[in-house]
Amino acid sequence: MHRIRCPFCGARDETEFAYRGDATKRRPPDDADEDAFFDYVYRRANPKDWHVEWWHHTGGCRRLVKVVRHTVTHEVHWTGWPDQPPSLPDGAP
């Protein structure tokens, strides 16, 4: 089980969070075309590496948390708010 540090609530169990996928994707503007939305909705790098992800703290403050997590070791390097640039470990892509 993961423990994820919510910037507001502190370290909480994975069970309090809903995984919301790739946080490197930015939603295109409303008037963007089909291709832009196709990319946003479907194209995923699916790295076997460090990954920036959304975890929604639905069981706590109900805020989206940006998480830098390794998809193999599950190690969490950094967590922050949506408007913060993620901090990646040295050597991460």
Partner 1 sequence: MSQPFRLDGRGRVDRQQPLSFRFDGTTYTGYAGDTLASALLANGVHLVGRSFKYHRPRGILAVGAEEPNALVELRTGARVEPNTRATQVELFDGLVARSQNHVGTRAVDLMAVNQWFAPFLKAGFYYKTFMGPGGAWERLWEPIIRRAAGLGRAPRQPDPDAYEHAHLHCDVLVVGGGPAGLAAADAARCAGARVVLCEQEPRLGGALLGEIDSLAPWVDEVASGFDGEDARLLGRTSVVGYYDHGVLAAVERVADHLPTPPEGVRQRLWIIRAGAVVLATGSYEQPLLFQDNDRPGIMLASAARRYLLDFGVAPCRQVVVATATDDAYRAALDLVAAGVAVPTIADVRAAPGPFAKAAEAAGIEVLRGAVPLRALGRQRVRGLEVSVDGSAPRRLEGDALLVSGGFQPALQLASQAGAKARFDPDLNAFVPREPAQNARLAGAARGVFRLDACLADGREAGASAARDLGFALPSLPPLPAVDEPEERPWPAPLVPRDGKRAFVDLQNDVTVADLRLAVQEGYRAAEHAKRYTTLGMGTDQGKTAMPAGLAVLAAATGRPLAELAPTTMRPPVVPVAIGVLAGRTRGRDFRPIRRSALHDWHERNGAVFVEAGDWLRPSYYRDGALSLMEAAAEEAMTVRRAVGICDVSTLGKIALFGPDARTFLDRVYANGFAKLPVGKARYGVMLREDGIVFDDGTTSCLADDRFLMTTTTANAGAVLEHLEFLHQTAWPELDVVFCSETEQWCQMALAGPRSRDVLARLLDGVDVGDLVLPFMGFLEAAAEGVPVRVFRISFSGELAYELACPRGYGEGLWQRCLDVGAAFGIRPYGVEVLSILRIEKGHPAGQEIDGRTTAGDLGLGRLVERSATGVGKPLASRRDLTDPGRPQLVGLRPVDPEARLRGGAHLVENPMAASTATDLGWISSAHWSPHVGSWIALAFVAGGVERFGDACLWAVFPLRNEAVEVVVGPVCFVDAEGSRLRG
Partner 2 sequence: MAITVRNGVACCLVLARRGFAEVTAERLELSLEPGRATIGAERCCLPIAPGEWLVLEQWRADGGLRMQLEGDAAGLAYVSDQSHGRQVIRVAGPAARDLLGRGCRLDLHPRKCRPGFCAATSIAEYACALVQVDAVPSFDLVVAAGYAESFWLWLTDHAAMFGYRAAIETVDRP
The verdict on 3 binding partner 1 (CB under 8 A) reads yes
CB within 8 Å of 50: residues ≥ 6 apart: 68, 69, 70, 71, 77, 88, 89, 92, 93
* Least distance to partner 1, CB of residue 80, Å: 13
Among 8, 10, 19, 37, binds partner 1 (CB under 8 A): 37
Q: Which of the listed partners (partner 1, partner 2, none) does 56 bind, with a CB threshold of 5 to 8 Å by partner kind?
A: partner 1
Q: Is 25 in the site for partner 2 (CB under 8 A)?
A: no
- Residue 12 interacting with partner 2 (CB under 8 A): yes
**Maximum distance among all Cα pairs of the chain, rounded to whole angstroms:** 40
